[in-house]
Amino acid sequence: MTDTTIKHIATVFPIDAKALEPDPKFRRRRSIIREFSLNTSTHGIPGIARSQNIHNRIFWIVSTLIFTGIMLFFIVESMKAYFNYPTQTSVSFIVERSQAFPAVSICNYSPMRFDNFIEPFLNFTKFLNLTYTNDTSTISIELVPYITEFVQNLLNDSEPVTSYFFPLNSTLISCLYNGQRCQANDFIPFYSSSFGRCYTFNAKMKLNQSSVRSTTDFGDVSVGMIAMIHDNTELPLIEVAGIQLEPGRRHKLSYKKKIHELLSSPYSDCTNQISLVIQTMFNQYADADYAYSQVLYVSVGMMAMIHDNTELPLIEVAGIQLEPGRKYKLSYKKKIYQLLPSPYSDCTNKIPLVMQAMFNRYAGADYAYSQVLCYTLCIQTYVYNECKCVSPFEWIAQSIVLSGTDEIREVSLCNVTDQCYMTATARITTTDSIWNQFCSDCSQACSTVDFIITTSAVSAPSTTYVPVIKKFVEKSDIILPKNWSNAWQSEIPKNYLAVDIVCETTRVETYTQDASISGVDLLSNVGGHTGLWIGISFLSIMELVEMLYRLIRYDYYILKGKIRRRNQEQS
């Protein structure tokens, strides 16, 4: 009954008009849907429900469908953009007054110690019928190509090679960290395929959850001057940012201007440094004509590298070459790169099994994943599959994991003259399908730390310090040149080298990869489009839920009434 009919009946018969109204819970389905359509906050539906003629209804239906289609298009585009996982990089500058001091790695530029090497090497060449000499004071040019084969033979036979390399206690004259003395046992050894036995200061260790040294822990023997280029309004903190200049040279200091607009903070209050005084022992590179150093290692000096405490130093590619006869200052600035994990990037911090087997050789150091090292290991695996041996020039990577298994195997090195390993290496690096098969797991690391190094040097040692070095050299176990008593004053500058590693600024530059579209952004975009085009909100959804609930309740009462009547008829 309509409201008019109810009111008319109520005027004829003396009853309350409300008594004739049907119970709201027993309204028909059409009434429930119509009430929802007229009262919903969603645009378009009320216009359809209250239309008085067919033309008006068609207008509202077409309008609602068009704008609903536009809304769905933009929603789909927003979802596609989100699932493309776009990223952006944010740069932040954080002042860390106390930060982890980086690891410092050093190597002698020539890996072999001549006095321990020459006799076994001559025995090896005699075995190959290459020479019959017993002269251990020199080495001929013709025998130099067999040095690599000699080392390869030692490694394939699992013979120790440590004695052929330079020991740190005979190389390190002095070590100071923030004014406190450090010893040779504060360094851990590692091996380089190019430079033999090298040493790292302040590497992170696994045992006892050891921590690395901090820049705030604990609280000169050179000739030259210090220079610094700085802003016109800047007080020059030349102790940490100055450049060392050597006498007897004309220095050209070129600069590029770079402006950072930040909140005020101190330029630097970082006073930490490590000072290393080292002798390169050039006389042990080779005696007499220096054939070995002239053919294989045409330079004399040291290699140094400043790196993260958890990074295995790949000093062959990232090291800095240091010349004897100077004191160097290496000032560093710290940069951090942080990438988002999958699905935003393919980065990883997971250490593969073969890489962990390699790390286990390094004196308990807690090394992290390295993409470059992963490349080396996967290339070695392919070379082994093709040649049943691995490259002799990457002898630190003799461990491989057989394809399809978790078995780690120590394999032999290929002969230097064998072309197979060179052909296989060239093939995998130039063939994408092979590379993707063997090196697909070599993603970039999710977190890396780089150090920007500024290098400067002055002449060293001073004449007053030379006698101190002489005493150290004469007490070491390194064999001295035959003319040492007459030539020690000229020999020491050829073998002396000092390094200061200094934190230039406490400001750490951090590059962080962030999601361009987050889940909240997606929800906001969808809500914006639904509200813009047809006015849907969460309350609109609750109105729909209410209508469905009323329809279900209506069907429930109808079904309940049918069951009751059926039971009455049966009884």
Ordered strands of the 320-322 beta sheet: 187-192, 196-201, 103-108, 302-307, 320-322
User: Looking at residues 461-475, what average pLDDT do you find?
Assistant: 86
* Structure confidence at residue 266 as a pLDDT band (50, 70, 90): very low
Residue 109, pLDDT score: 87
* Structure confidence at residue 291 as a pLDDT band (50, 70, 90): very low
How many angstroms separate the CA atoms of 236 and 480, rounded? 44
Residue 213, pLDDT score: 86
* Structure confidence at residue 567 as a pLDDT band (50, 70, 90): confident
Beta strands in 116-264 (DSSP E): 172-177, 180-181, 187-192, 196-201, 225-227, 243-245
pLDDT at 18 over 80: no
Residue 14, pLDDT score: 54
DSSP 5-54: HHHHHHHHSSS-HHHHSPPGGG--HHHHHHHHHHH-SSSSHHHHHT-SSH
pLDDT at 470 over 90: no
Residue 68, pLDDT score: 92
pLDDT at 361 over 70: yes
pTM greater than the 0.75 cutoff: no
User: Looking at residues 37-65, what average pLDDT do you find?
Assistant: 89
Q: What is the DSSP letter of 412?
A: P
- How does 470-504 read in b/e, with b if 16+ C-beta sit within 10 Å? eeebeeeebebeeeeeeebeebbbbbbbbbbbbbb
Dump pLDDT digits (tens) for 401-456: 887 778 888 899 998 888 999 999 999 999 999 999 999 889 999 999 999 999 99
* Structure confidence at residue 367 as a pLDDT band (50, 70, 90): very high
Please state, for a pLDDT cut of 90, what percent of the chain lies above it. 32
Residue 281, pLDDT score: 57
392 neighbors 152 (Cβ within 8 angstroms): yes
User: Looking at residues 334-352, what average pLDDT do you find?
Assistant: 93
Identify which has the larger pLDDT, 562 or 238: 562
What tokens appear for 459 in the block?
């002449």
Alpha helices, H only, 410-497:
420-430, 432-438, 466-475, 484-495
Dump pLDDT digits (tens) for 544-554: 898 899 899 88
User: Looking at residues 174-194, what average pLDDT do you find?
Assistant: 88
378 burial class (0-12, 13-18, 19+ CB within 10 angstroms)?
A: buried
User: Looking at residues 56-81, what average pLDDT do you find?
Assistant: 93
Pairing of strands 103-108, 172-177: unpaired
